[in-house]
């Protein structure tokens, strides 16, 4: 006999009067560890089917583009439709080379972290096209405000691998003097704004920079990248408001890789609508793009850059992709998602797709691709050995102790001067020198 005192046997609570009780919806991903994956519900569409509006078009005319998927590369490995950027073979090979270099770099740095040479690393496997292709579509002096998975931008812009590795190791040659978490690069010379671990702060910074560029009558635009999870942050929405109100020449890139650490995209609103559709609500031009199609990524960024430069306003781009690896070296995705997801992802792999396209048009082959992969791996290996001469995690060879007091004030205030002197005296008394490891 059922126990009437058991809460499970109590009638559902009723709302006030005859109104039904309210219920709260908690998003839940479709697949958890051990589940069989079926992505057939994802509407991919046909490559080349989406229209390409004029770059001056009003956002109200772009509803379809915010809900569908702009694709160029078809199942036949050929480029199709009005979004085909018609890049020459040499540019395509350069793009493929950048993607191969990022992959080789990621692999080496990941292993370095596992060997204890650095504390932290984040790979961008499966997402290379979302940073490299847009970077190549922008002018080299356009200001970029990245998140922490856009190392491809630096590589595409020619930033030295040695400097990147020194920063990851936080050694004596680190140009940021050990003040940033590994992989949070910064380079004024490459128009690459400092990466921040605080989510979405780069979005209002990018909009503000773009507004300043317009106020000065400059010709440079800004672009920023953010993960889909970070669109739930207030900073993102503030950025959208300012961008729309002041018609800022900025591109707001959302990399929807399906997972924000262990939280799937539904917690940021993906169950209700696309992330590109958020742009329409602000009166911002919005595009939703196959993020594993390098040609589509290039074309969308080029369209948005031309629009911004012509003073037609901001563009929000959602790159629909998949994070093939863990969130970082501190994450194990097997604990929260099915191991089948990576293989079953319907948009494939961006490197494989671009390689197949070049082969299909007679401008590449498997032998050259294998040679390129080997060359990238050897270059990264040699550069890593060179960087290790400057020090690795826990092996000293850091910047002099006094540098921790520098670069904040033009002239150090008297009380910090006293603190610096005291700290250095105590360090010398303990180690016999300010810099005990050379």
Q: Quick one: pLDDT band at residue 335, thresholds 50, 70, 90? A: very high
Distance CA 178, CA 59 (A): 44
* Of 320, 354, 342, nearest in space to 42 by CA: 320
In this predicted structure, the answer to whether residue 438 has a pLDDT above a threshold of 60 is no
User: 118-149: per-residue pLDDT in tens?
Assistant: 999 999 999 999 999 999 999 999 999 999 99
Residue 273 in contact with residue 63, Cβ under 8 Å?
Answer: no
Percent of the chain past pLDDT 90, that is, above it, reads 88
Residues 303 and 420 in one domain: no
Distance of CA 347 to the CA centre of its chain: 18
Residues 324 and 417 in one domain: no
CATH code of the domain covering residue 95? 3.40.50.970
User: 360-402: per-residue pLDDT in tens?
Assistant: 999 999 999 999 999 999 999 999 999 999 999 988 788 887 7
What per-residue confidence (pLDDT) applies to 435?
Answer: 57
Region 183-198 average pLDDT? 97
Residues 223 and 288 in one domain: yes
> Domain range for residue 370?
59-333+342-388
Helix (H) / strand (E) containing 260? strand 259-260
| Claim: this prediction has a pTM higher than 0.85 | yes
Residues 197 and 285 in one domain: yes
Number of structural domains in the chain:
2
Residues 360 and 414 in one domain: no
Strands (E), 161-201: none
User: 176-189: per-residue pLDDT in tens?
Assistant: 999 999 999 999 99
Q: 35 lies in a domain?
A: no
Q: Name the burial class of residue 28, with classes exposed (0-12), middle (13-18) and buried (19+) by CB atoms within 10 angstroms of its CB.
A: exposed
In this predicted structure, the answer to whether residue 73 has a pLDDT above a threshold of 90 is yes
Distance CA 211, CA 408 (A): 26
Q: 266 lies in a domain?
A: yes
In this predicted structure, the answer to whether residue 291 has a pLDDT above a threshold of 80 is yes
Residues 347 and 419 in one domain: no
């Amino acid at each position: 006999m059922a126990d009437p005192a058991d809460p499970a046997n109590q009638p559902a609570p009723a709302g006030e009067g005859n109104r039904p009780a309210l219920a709260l919806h908690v998003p839940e991903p479709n697949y958890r560890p051990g589940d069989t994956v079926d992505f057939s519900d994802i509407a991919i569409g046909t490559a080349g089917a989406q229209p390409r509006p004029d770059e001056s078009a009003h956002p109200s005319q772009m509803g379809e583009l915010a809900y569908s998927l702009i694709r160029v590369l078809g199942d036949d490995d050929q480029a199709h439709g009005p979004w085909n950027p018609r890049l020459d073979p040499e540019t395509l090979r350069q793009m493929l080379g950048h993607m191969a270099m990022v992959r080789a770099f990621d692999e080496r740095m990941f292993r370095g972290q596992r060997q204890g040479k650095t504390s932290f690393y984040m790979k961008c496997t499966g997402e290379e096209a979302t940073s490299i292709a847009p970077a190549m579509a922008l002018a080299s002096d356009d200001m970029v405000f990245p998140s922490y998975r856009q190392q491809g931008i630096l590589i595409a812009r020619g930033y030295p691998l040695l400097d990147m590795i020194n920063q990851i190791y936080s050694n004596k040659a680190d140009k940021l003097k050990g003040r940033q978490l590994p992989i949070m690069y910064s380079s004024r010379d490459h128009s690459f704004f400092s990466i921040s671990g605080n989510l979405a702060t780069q979005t209002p910074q990018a909009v503000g920079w773009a507004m300043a560029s317009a106020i000065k009558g400059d010709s440079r635009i800004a672009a920023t990248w953010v993960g889909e999870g970070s669109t739930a942050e207030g900073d993102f929405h503030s950025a959208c408001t300012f961008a729309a109100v002041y018609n800022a020449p900025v591109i707001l890139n959302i990399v929807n890789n399906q997972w924000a650490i262990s939280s799937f995209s539904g917690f940021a609103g993906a169950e209700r609508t696309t992330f590109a559709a958020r742009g329409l609500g602000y009166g911002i031009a919005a595009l939703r793009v196959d993020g594993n199609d390098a040609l589509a990524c290039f074309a969308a960024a080029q369209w948005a850059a031309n629009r911004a430069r012509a003073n037609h306003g901001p563009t929000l781009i959602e790159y629909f992709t998949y994070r093939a690896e863990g969130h970082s070296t501190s994450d194990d995705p097997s604990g929260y998602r099915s191991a089948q997801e990576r293989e079953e992802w319907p948009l494939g792999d961006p490197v494989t797709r671009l390689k197949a396209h070049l082969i299909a048009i007679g401008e590449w082959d498997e032998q050259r691709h294998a040679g390129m992969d080997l060359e990238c791996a050897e270059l990264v290996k040699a550069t890593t050995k060179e960087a290790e001469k400057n020090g690795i995690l826990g092996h000293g060879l850091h910047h002099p102790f006094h540098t921790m007091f520098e670069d904040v004030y033009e002239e150090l205030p008297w009380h910090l001067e006293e603190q610096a002197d005291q700290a250095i005296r105590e360090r010398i008394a303990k180690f016999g020198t300010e810099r005990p490891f050379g």
